[in-house]
Amino acid sequence: MRQEPVQKGPTQFMAKEIKGKAGEDRELIRELAQLLDETGLTEIEIDRDGMRVRVARVALAAAGHATSAAPAALQPAPDAEAKAGESDPAKHPGCVRSPMVGTAYLSHQPGAAPFVAVGSRVVQGQTILIIEAMKTMNHIPAPKTGVVTRILVGNLQPVEFGEPLAIIE
């Protein structure tokens, strides 16, 4: 029996009612929904005892990241080049850009301390964040040694190719 999602809301879990062993099936769906939350997946499907169950969720990216995407900034540098970078981070000479489209992760696992924070001293090659693309976790290294003065993306925020991620001075 194939289960198809039924949309109930932008961030709610979706699943059609399963006939038969309703109590066990509901518990299975709850467990799968909890697994989606824990892993950050958007869809999971299993086939057990000839029954196929698929649980999926839809999350609105803009609404979910409005608060977490707020960049943090330190005091501006006095030189003109840094001032130009304040208004447009992409023009800053210490701008770290995204090398790919994906989802930014600021720590290696949920609840863990972030790789870097504003004010952190980093060395060239040190991981500053991860971008997940096509189920692959890509460590983004610091291109130079310096101090992180701004983090321009939030955790789990979608990023585009070339998008400014952080400023290292």
Fold classification of 64-168 is: OB fold (Dihydrolipoamide Acetyltransferase, E2P) (2.40.50)
Positive or negative torsion for Cα 158, 161, 162, 167: positive
Question: Domain extents for the chain?
Answer: 13-59, 64-168
Tokens for 74, please give them.
């330190």
More confident residue, 84 or 122: 122
How far apart are the C-alpha atoms of 71 and 62, rounded to whole Å? 15
Convert the pLDDT of each residue in 120-165 to its tens digit.
Answer: 999 999 999 999 999 899 999 999 999 999 999 999 999 999 999 9
pTM reported for the whole predicted model: 0.50
DSSP letter for each residue of 31-42: HHHHHHHHHT-S
Proportion of the chain above pLDDT 70, given as a percent:
69
Task: Answer positive or negative: Cα dihedral of 95, 98, 99, 105.
Answer: positive
Residue 65: strand, helix, or coil: helix
159 in Cβ contact with 103 (< 8 Å): yes
Instruction: Say if residues 115 and 129 touch (Cβ distance below 8 Å).
Output: yes
